Amino acid sequence: MAYQITDECISCGACESECPVSAISAGDDKYVIDADACLDCGACAGVCPVGAPSAE
């Protein structure tokens, strides 16, 4: 199961460079995770100031 970024995202961009497989990119109104590439490592959740990346 991949991480997903919830609507809490404030598009700060902090998570993008933390992802080891570059699965995160800027979307229209929030950042988004490519579910097929995500390794479930949790690095994005660790740096997000608002806890937007969720494994749920």
Yes or no: say if 44 and 3 are a contact pair by the CB < 8 Å rule.
yes
Q: How far is the CB of 5 from ligand SF4 (least distance, A)?
A: 5
Yes or no: say if 45 and 55 are a contact pair by the CB < 8 Å rule.
yes
To which H or E segment does residue 25 belong?
A: strand 24-26
Answer yes or no whether residue 35 interacts with ligand SF4 by CB under 6 A: no
Total residues contacting ligand SF4 by CB under 6 A comes to: 29
Rule CB under 6 A: which residues touch ligand SF4? 3, 5, 9-15, 18-21, 23-24, 31, 33, 38-44, 47-48, 50, 52-53
